[in-house]
Chains A and B, each alone.
Chain A
Amino acid sequence: MANQTLNWSAIDADPRFKALHAKKTAFLWGLMAFSCVYYFLLPIGAGYFPDLYKVKVWGPINVGLLFALSQFIVAWGIAWYYTRRATQFDAMADDIARDAYRIGVKK
């Protein structure tokens, strides 16, 4: 198998991998935290601020309904935003993968 010749700890310690790890970690968990907060605001608002949800905005459409619909838009927005950023991560990962067999091997 080819992976026996790979030096995993050296790749892990490679500055390019460190950079990928740092960028990706901050981005993913930040986005994850934002999406959770935005989602849990919906049941919390419905439970504790029902009067706010009842405010009519557009004909019979109220704040609560708009907020619930916005959840779909936000979820799709997160997916779209993530895909855009992920192509950058892909490029960084490809760069590392291309050199994988050279990293950590004594010349």
Chain B
Amino acid sequence: MTATKKLLIGGLGTLVLFGAAPAFAQAVAAQYTYLTFAVFGAIIALTMYVTYIAAKRTKTTADFYAAASSVTGLQNGWAIAGDYLSAASFLGIAGLISLYGYDGFMYSVGWLVAYITVLLVIAEPCRNIGKYTVGDILAFRNNPKVVKMFMAISTITVSTFYLTAQMVGGGVLVKTLIGIDYEVSVAAVGILMMAYVIFGGMIATTWVQIIKAVLLVTASILMVILVWAPYGFSLPGYLGDVIKDPKVQGQVARLLGDASKNMTPAELGQRFLEPGLLLKNPIDQISLGMALVLGTAGMPHILMRFFTVPTAQQARKSVIWAMAIIGGFYVLTLFLGTGAAMKVGAARITEIDRGGNMAGPLLAQYLGGGADSLLGNLFLAFVAAVAFATIVAVVAGLVLAAASAMSHDIWVGVIKGDKATGEEELRAARICSVIVGAMAITIGILAKGQNVAHLVALAFAVASSANLPVVLLTLYWKRCNTGGVVAGLVVGTLAAIALVLVSPNMTYPLQVKAAQEKVIKAQDDRLAKLNADLPMLTDAAAIETAKKGIAAAEKAKAAAEATIKGLGGATTSMVGLEKPLFELRNPGLISIPLGFLAVFLGSLLYRDRRAEEMWDELYVRSNTGIGRAAATAH
């Protein structure tokens, strides 16, 4: 009888465990998802109200593309921050810091330094020369039809790479946070973003980005105060506690493996604040740094923001505000990341998401009172909703940039030869937004489960190797002309894409298989040892630990086997390689000089009288703002 009873209890226990298991797979426990939906609903309602107001004000193409150049520097600074701080920076960098300490923080620096390029050499000339799109800047002194066509293709390429990364990342994120289906969340993000862009154009997009940036900064400041205040806001006191934490020390030991055998716990903790836990290849770091520092200034959705302010002075002011907000935010991530490492622990963070993306949300839950408290889950829900708003705002900016290139550059500039009425162009812009939005949803759903991390690197690589050289040299080099622009865009784009296709970013089945086989072998050894030890154990607690170990090893082994099975019979990467041809994950180091070189050679080999004749006018306008084409209604 007792045996049956035990069996029954055991069975029930297992059932309960299985029932609870899905709740563990998502950050917000099932009984609290209503909180998340409530906060999501509130944010969506607010942005929809803003879109409604914006839609009433969106009457001309100037309103739709550039918010009639009526945005102030302060507003635009917040909007740039909202456009730029994607879920990857909000969740990703905090996650990297929580898992890898110093290296994660070092990684965040380049994202701010990028704005120095924007501030010093790009923002003001772009405001003075441009109107609605990057193509407009190039068309000023080059053959308008040709450069608009090529620049539009490049804009759409960069935006699509970035967009796909955001859609897939966003879909996974929403699923991880609250457990709604991937397809549903991709469609929800897509439909919301289309509503903002189609009805409210740049005015709505700007305000959605401002709202999102304010929410993001508020949530981060609140979390940092909660995590740092107990130390009287002392930095050494706080970090001293971080490195004393056994969870942090354990994570360092796990990362270092055998190398950590002779280290004391104090040394392990201190190691968390030293470089080298994540980034092993300094050349790759420099290459990434180049892509960030030059790529941000070549991102169409960022450049487009400078057409929304009336003057070069306001453009400058926007970058200053953006740098204050973005930089301040990255400093906060140091506390979010280390706070999560200490309070939540790497084990729990990676249990929910291997990349560490849940560090911030889980820290919020902890700070609010923990996984079982209402306040903790409310705070988590708030942070999850902010993450959702983050994705939607970034995606809206990208779609607007791609749609503007399609309608203003390709349809009006190239196909209609600049002869379209305002109403026709506005309609075209809205139709293009529908096309790009639908494309984003489709790609997002098709790319389910794909490794999209390299797409962000690719977007920055193309922006820095193709867009930035042609914009920079059009603005600053007298000899630059149509030939150089075309050569730069083609060579820069192709070089960046080709180098990424043969880089370690791609999946190489043989390498994956070898790595997983190693895992299987290690787990087999562990299982053999545990199974051999088990009969000799007498202490109940020790038996329990051993059994847990066996279960974990079996789980890890099964996961590795599943990964191998998932590869099917494939032995080569997407482009038919068994191993990478090019060792850098970030191609900037090679592709950026190639892009610049192509602009130089193309310009020297091509004769273009117009480009030379227009130089004086361009250079005077760019430096003085005389005759600026402020985007006002025609």
Contact = CB atoms under 8 A, between A and B. Distances in A.
Nearest to A34: B116
A83 to B, nearest CB: 6
Q: Which residue among A12, A61, A75, A78 has the maximum number of chain B CB atoms within 10 Å of its CB?
A: A75
A57 B113 CA distance: 25
Given A17-B620, A50-B275, A53-B274, A90 B313 contact: yes
B323 A76 contact: yes
B274 A43 contact: no
Interface residues of A, number: 51
Nearest to A58: B236
Interface string B596-629: 0000000000000000000011011001111100
B616 A9 contact: yes
Interface in A1-58: 2-3, 6, 8-9, 11-12, 17, 20-21, 24, 28, 31-32, 35-36, 39-40, 42-44, 46-48, 50, 53-54, 56, 58
A46 B279 contact: yes
Contacts of A9: 616
B239 interface: yes
B282 interface: yes
A62 B407 CA distance: 53
Contacts of B102: 53, 64-65, 68
A71 B270 CA distance: 21
Nearest to A17: B620
Contacts of B289: 39-40, 43
B367 to A, nearest CB: 22
B624 A31 contact: no
A75 B616 contact: no
| Secondary structure call for the B interface | helix
A40 B286 contact: yes
| Secondary structure call for the A interface | helix
Contacts of B106: 42-43, 46, 64, 68
B106 to A, nearest CB: 5
B236 to A, nearest CB: 3
Interface stretch (B117-125, B390-398, B509-517): B117-125
Given A39-B289, A58-B236, A60-B236, A46 B116 contact: no
Contacts of A82: 119-120
A17 B626 CA distance: 12
B235 interface: yes
Interface stretch (B60-68, B324-332, B417-425): B324-332
A90 B119 CA distance: 15
Interface in A58-105: 58-62, 64-65, 68-69, 71-72, 75-76, 78-79, 82-83, 86, 90, 93, 96-97, 100
Contacts of B281: 47
B276 interface: yes
Interface in B85-106: 102-103, 105-106
Contact of B275 (A17, A28, A46): A46
Interface residues of B, number: 53
A32 B120 contact: yes
A97 B267 CA distance: 63
Given A50-B274, A61-B235, A43 B282 contact: yes
A47 B330 contact: no
A76 B110 CA distance: 13
Contacts of B41: none
A62 B273 contact: yes
B285 interface: yes
A56 B243 CA distance: 13
A90 B623 CA distance: 9
Contacts of A8: 616-617, 620
A31 B627 CA distance: 28
A78 B316 CA distance: 13
Interface string B282-307: 11011001000100000000000000
26 contacts: A11-B616, A28-B121, A32-B117, A43-B279, A50-B275, A54-B274, A58-B236, A59-B236, A59-B240, A60-B240, A60-B242, A60-B273, A64-B273, A64-B275, A68-B105, A68-B109, A75-B327, A76-B323, A79-B324, A86-B316, A90-B313, A93-B624, A93-B625, A97-B624, A100-B624, A100-B626
4 pairs of A and B residues whose beta carbons are closest in the complex: A47-B282, A59-B236, A43-B285, A46-B275
Given A20-B624, A46-B279, 10 more contacts: A3-B617, A6-B627, A46-B103, A46-B106, A47-B275, A50-B276, A60-B239, A62-B273, A96-B624, A100-B626
